[in-house]
Amino acid sequence: MITHGNEIKLFCGNSNSDLAKAIAKKLNTELGEVEVNTFSDGEINVHIKETVRGRDVFIIQSTCSPVNDNLMELLIMIDAAKRASAGRVTAVIPYFGYARQDRKARSRDPITAKLVANLITEAGADRVLTMDLHADQIQGFFDIPVDNLLGGPTLYNYFAKKNNIDVVVAPDLGSVKRSRKVAEKFGVPIAIIDKRRPKANVMEVMSIIGDVAGKRCLMIDDMIDTAGTLCQGAQAIKDAGATEIYAGCTHAVLSGPAIERLKNSAITQLVMLDTIHLPEEKKLDKFEVLSVADIFAAAIENVYLDKPMSKLYD
């Protein structure tokens, strides 16, 4: 790790320590010592066990399940670092929870993504590093700089090496832009699954726009939660004549019935990034996990050295 001025300090909470260790290794440094515990009533207690005065502090914490505990850990760690006179605090949030609540879909709905952005800012973060926000406009919810890194190129490079994709399929209309970018890189056409969602986490396929018959298909999405959208979409394109179905996502939330659905689905292989820790009990033979440690290490180094981030988006 190149050093200049004040020393860099990396810390992590309990959400994804494996990724944090991998990032630290890429930077040729070690994670700082911090105790993150809970009192008997569930309150979170943080103690940073080394000096951070004047240092450039990076706190690595995905706000995945348990979302509220991991979010509070992040907020309290930011506050602890600021109160210990850290020079600059960057919240490194590989997976940003509450991102789906980014607008008022109904009257009297909250905009929780904005609330969380306010909490992180008020806690004392000077900058946020994250990846593939569910809605790009969330960057504007913050009054501090936000770098929204891209997970798509990592997924693209994996499938490009296999050279086995004939069509890129958007699981829903919201994924069309992302899927089109991938299709353009592969030089293949795009298909779109037109669906309706009668209620949260429930999806019904209506029709398929495009030709998938006799084709090897790749479904791309930013996150997979209960996997209803993905699995129903995979079955729909299989019924339409697709020969092989692959899937890729940045954030494998995999809550509720997701694992059972994916196990019994028409999907040949699901490739995911490690923004969220995948426990042993959720692993399937058809899963492949790719690391984003390289990307986050490069971003952290650029922030630390005040170098431009643009090359990470090229």
Indicate the SS3 state at residue 92: strand
Cα–Cα distance for residue pair 314/268, rounded to 1 Å: 30
The helix or strand, by DSSP H or E, that contains position 47, with its residue range, turns out to be strand 44-48
> What six digits make up the tokens of 231?
């699995």
Question: Catalytic one among 9, 26, 114, 195?
Answer: 195
pLDDT of the residue at 4: 46
Question: 113 or 311: which carries more pLDDT confidence?
Answer: 113
Whether 199 shows a pLDDT value over 70: the answer reads no
List, as one string, the DSSP characters of 200-234.
Answer: TTEEEEEEEES--TT-EEEEEEEEESSSHHHHHHH
Is residue 194 very low, low, confident or very high in pLDDT (cuts 50, 70, 90)? confident
pLDDT of the residue at 201: 58
Q: Which residues contact 227 (CB under 8 A, 6 or more apart)?
A: 254, 257, 258, 261, 262, 265
Residues 129/121, Cβ–Cβ less than 8 Å: no
Cα–Cα distance for residue pair 22/150, rounded to 1 Å: 18
Residues 77/11, Cβ–Cβ less than 8 Å: yes
Is residue 178 very low, low, confident or very high in pLDDT (cuts 50, 70, 90)? confident
Chain centroid to CA 238: how far?
28
Q: What is the pLDDT of residues 78-128, one digit of tens each?
A: 999 999 999 999 999 999 999 999 999 889 999 999 999 999 999 999 999
Indicate the SS3 state at residue 282: helix
Peptide bond into 308 cis (omega under 30): no
> What six digits make up the tokens of 28?
């040729």
Is residue 162 very low, low, confident or very high in pLDDT (cuts 50, 70, 90)? confident
pLDDT of the residue at 172: 84
Whether 202 shows a pLDDT value over 90: the answer reads no
pLDDT of the residue at 311: 83
Q: What is the pLDDT of residues 5-50, one digit of tens each?
A: 468 999 999 999 999 999 999 999 999 999 999 999 999 999 999 9
Distances (CA, A) of 10 to 22, 42, 235: 12, 25, 44
Q: Is 195 a catalytic residue?
A: yes
Other Cβ atoms closer than 10 A to 288:
12
Q: What is the pLDDT of residues 287-308, one digit of tens each?
A: 999 999 999 999 999 999 999 9
State the pTM of this model.
0.93
Q: What is the pLDDT of residues 43-79, one digit of tens each?
A: 999 999 999 999 999 999 999 999 999 999 999 999 9
Terminal-residue alpha carbon distance, the chain? 23
Peptide bond into 66 cis (omega under 30): yes
Whether 272 shows a pLDDT value over 90: the answer reads yes
Cα–Cα distance for residue pair 197/245, rounded to 1 Å: 23
> What six digits make up the tokens of 314?
């090229």
Whether 205 shows a pLDDT value over 80: the answer reads no
List, as one string, the DSSP characters of 154-205.
Answer: HHHHHHHHHT--SEEEESSGGGHHHHHHHHHHHT--EEEEEEEEEETTEEEE
Cα–Cα distance for residue pair 99/113, rounded to 1 Å: 5
Cα–Cα distance for residue pair 142/147, rounded to 1 Å: 11
